[in-house]
Structure 1
Amino acid sequence: MINTVASIFIIGLSGLLAFLTLVPFSKIPHGLVRAPAFVRLQMLATALVLLPFAWVLTSDGWRIFSLLCLVVVIAVCTASVLKFTPLWPKQSKSAEAALMTDTDRHIHMLAANVKMSNREYDHLIALARREQPDVLAALETDQRWIDALAVLEPDYIHRYDVPHDTGYGMMLYSKLPLKDVQIRDLVTKGVPSIKATVTLRSGDEICLYIVHPEPPVAHEKTTGRDSEIALAGLEAIDGPLPAIIAGDLNDVAWSTTTRRFQRVTGLLDPRVGRGFYNTFNAYVPVFRWPLDHLFHDARFRFVQMQRMPKIGSDHFPISFKLVLAHRPAGEAPTPEEGETEDVTEMIVEEQARDRDPVGTDWEDEK
């Protein structure tokens, strides 16, 4: 009886894992379809553990079915995440020795989704004072967070605050000069982004985008999130300046959306060939994945990337150091036929939708 129950459980779980692994490839832009892509690492680990039990506890045709399902899960999940390990060539090229020493061309950025209801302000303040980034970006900031972080103002001459009590607030502090700063709802009303021109100590100018699109949810399409990520990228490559896009993209590095974003923009991901740098969920070690990202123009070189200690949020902060080079290096995938046109059409359609952003009540304090 025990073996029968175990066999049924293994068969059912194997089939479910295979379904959840393959369904995101349908490219249907809906939270229920896209969300399983987040847990590729967890599904890979589960399939590897389940494989010997499927061999021992199932029989006949069901054994073949279970093993086939598990092999598919292992193969697909491994192929998805392998590029974010040191086994894969680095997409973002490391800085040469001369650039490493040319610190006037460096930019050090610290990005943190603070979780609006988190009131442990001192953790982020202490981290910023210790790390002394050139640029500090904080997401999910309401007015209480803005007021608390005001103690950092002596270190940061240039400051732009966008307080929201919906979980979509953001702020940008910079030691480096900022100009042409734009605070806009790129796609969905109530979901702001920041665009700014940053002047490095060398005098070179770069373009910085801070974005925090909507998360995928079971009852809503993901086209709002997908459009915002894509629009920021298309704007970045249309501009004359080397660009950086950073923030909580509410998407994993190996997803359909992120891979398409890289194809249509040519922006590089420093995670490729280096590691996962999982930033969410800081509370649950076995359920973590990379949600906080930085993508950059090929004119930058990689210096350092580091996940920082907890600050009381469900996200870990993440630190990036890049240096502006004199010529491009590195190669991102190129667009598939008609892909840029499809993305542009999706953006136009999504901008025309009249709706409230999702998840605006998630951070309500009781």
Structure 2
Amino acid sequence: MESSVLNILLWGLTGLLILATLMPLSKLPHGSVRGLAFPREQFFGLALVLAIAMFFTQSGHARWIGTLLLLLVAGAQAIYIAKFTPFWRRQSVKADGDLVQARDRRVSLLASNVKLSNRAYGRLISLIRERDPDIGMAIEVDADWIAALSQEFRADYPYWVEVPKTNGYGLCVMSKLELRDTQVREMITDGVPSIRATVVLRDGAKFRLYVVHPEPPVIDHDTQGRDAEIALIGMEAAEDPLPAIVTGDLNDVAWSTTTRRFQRLSGLLDPRVGRGFYNTFSATMPWMRWPLDHLFHDPKFRLVYMERTEKIGSDHFPMWFVLALAASEKADADPGESDVEEEREVVEMVEDEKKREREAIGSDWED
């Protein structure tokens, strides 16, 4: 009896894992499908554990068929996540000695999703005091969060962009570097803002900063709003005359269909490729973590340093980046190029999504 139950459980989990691996290949823009692309690390580990269990508990053809299927599942998951290990060729070029020392060409950025209901203001304040970033970015902020940050840092950071919201989509950018041409835009969905600004480095060079926080994928809703916003930002960054940095909580994993398309459309580089996962969510569940908080940069930037920081009371870890702007473009690996058909599909998706009238996903999650 115990053996029968074990077999049902083992084969049932195997079937579910195969299904969870195949469904994201459909590229169907729905949360129930796209969400399955998030836990690829977990699915990889589970497939290996089940393969071992299959090999030692089954016999005959069942042993070999089950073990092979699970190893194929593990291999399929590994194809996606291998890029974010030290075994893969890096995209971002590391800054050389001269550029590292050129403070006037450097920019340090601290990006954090604070979680709207989190009221441990002091933890983020302490982190900002410790790191002293040129640009600090906080996501999911309301008026109370902005007031707490402003009270501590208004004197040190002369440039602010404040977008307080009670729906989980508030944004705040504070900068020691001059910000020009600042725009706050709801590009796709009402109530979901993004920030676009020109940043002036200490030597007078300029770059464009995009701070974004599109909607999350949920099991009962399509992901067209999120996908359209990410793609539109990518196309805009590609056409921008200034070198661009796109950062924020994209509510998407680094290896997803949507993020890979964003890189093809934008030509921006992911500094995690070839370096590590830098899983930022969930800070509260170590067994369920994936990279949701991103920074992509123009090939003119070189990476000086990148780190996931300590917890701040949120369900996200903050990310710390130091970049340096060089005179010419350089990349260790090309993120790929989009084609006319892909760009046409994106334009149609953006136009269709802009016509929809609905409330932003998750607006009432923390009411």
- TM-score bracket for this pair, using the shorter chain length: over 0.9
> CA shift at 1:69, angstroms?
2.5
Q: Which moved more, 1:256-265 or 1:52-61?
A: 52-61
Between the aligned partners of 1:223 and 1:300, the Cα distance in structure 2 is 31
1:346 aligned partner = 349
Q: Which whole-Å deviations, capped at 9, do the CAs of 1:248-272 have from their partners, x for residues lacking one? A: 0000000111111111111100000
Q: Which whole-Å deviations, capped at 9, do the CAs of 1:186-210 have from their partners, x for residues lacking one? A: 1101000000000000100100000
1:228 aligned partner = 229
Equivalences for residues 1-366 of structure 1 within 5 A: 1-150=1-150, 151-330=152-331, 331-336=334-339, 338-364=341-367
Between the aligned partners of 2:114 and 2:342, the Cα distance in structure 1 is 34
Between the aligned partners of 2:59 and 2:257, the Cα distance in structure 1 is 36
> CA shift at 1:336, angstroms?
4.3
Q: Residue type matched to 2:351 in 1?
A: V
Do 2:300 and 2:330's aligned partners in 1 also have CA atoms closer than 8 Å? yes
Q: Which whole-Å deviations, capped at 9, do the CAs of 1:15-70 have from their partners, x for residues lacking one? A: 11111012101000000000011000001111111111101222344334422321
Do 1:91 and 1:269's aligned partners in 2 also have CA atoms closer than 8 Å? yes
Do 2:106 and 2:322's aligned partners in 1 also have CA atoms closer than 8 Å? yes
TM-score, with length taken from structure 2: 0.97
Q: Which moved more, 1:212-221 or 1:7-16?
A: 7-16
Q: Residue type matched to 2:54 in 1?
A: A
Do 2:187 and 2:193's aligned partners in 1 also have CA atoms closer than 8 Å? yes
Do 1:233 and 1:261's aligned partners in 2 also have CA atoms closer than 8 Å? yes
Do 1:38 and 1:251's aligned partners in 2 also have CA atoms closer than 8 Å? yes
Do 2:113 and 2:139's aligned partners in 1 also have CA atoms closer than 8 Å? yes
Secondary structure, in 3 states, of the residue corresponding to 1:338? helix
Q: Residue type matched to 1:342 in 2?
A: E
Between the aligned partners of 2:111 and 2:123, the Cα distance in structure 1 is 14
Q: Residue type matched to 2:59 in 1?
A: S
Do 1:109 and 1:134's aligned partners in 2 also have CA atoms closer than 8 Å? yes
Between the aligned partners of 1:178 and 1:149, the Cα distance in structure 2 is 18
Do 2:238 and 2:265's aligned partners in 1 also have CA atoms closer than 8 Å? no
Do 1:11 and 1:62's aligned partners in 2 also have CA atoms closer than 8 Å? no
Do 1:15 and 1:69's aligned partners in 2 also have CA atoms closer than 8 Å? no
Between the aligned partners of 1:342 and 1:192, the Cα distance in structure 2 is 23
Between the aligned partners of 1:304 and 1:363, the Cα distance in structure 2 is 34
Secondary structure, in 3 states, of the residue corresponding to 1:82? helix
Between the aligned partners of 2:279 and 2:154, the Cα distance in structure 1 is 29
* Runs of 5+ consecutive residues of structure 2 not aligned to the other structure: none
Q: Which moved more, 1:51-60 or 1:249-258?
A: 51-60
Between the aligned partners of 2:171 and 2:340, the Cα distance in structure 1 is 36
- The verdict on how the C-alpha distance between 1:200 and 1:300 changes in structure 2, with shifts beyond 3 A counting, is same
Do 1:210 and 1:247's aligned partners in 2 also have CA atoms closer than 8 Å? yes
Identity across matched positions, percent: 52
The alignment covers a number of residue pairs equal to: 364
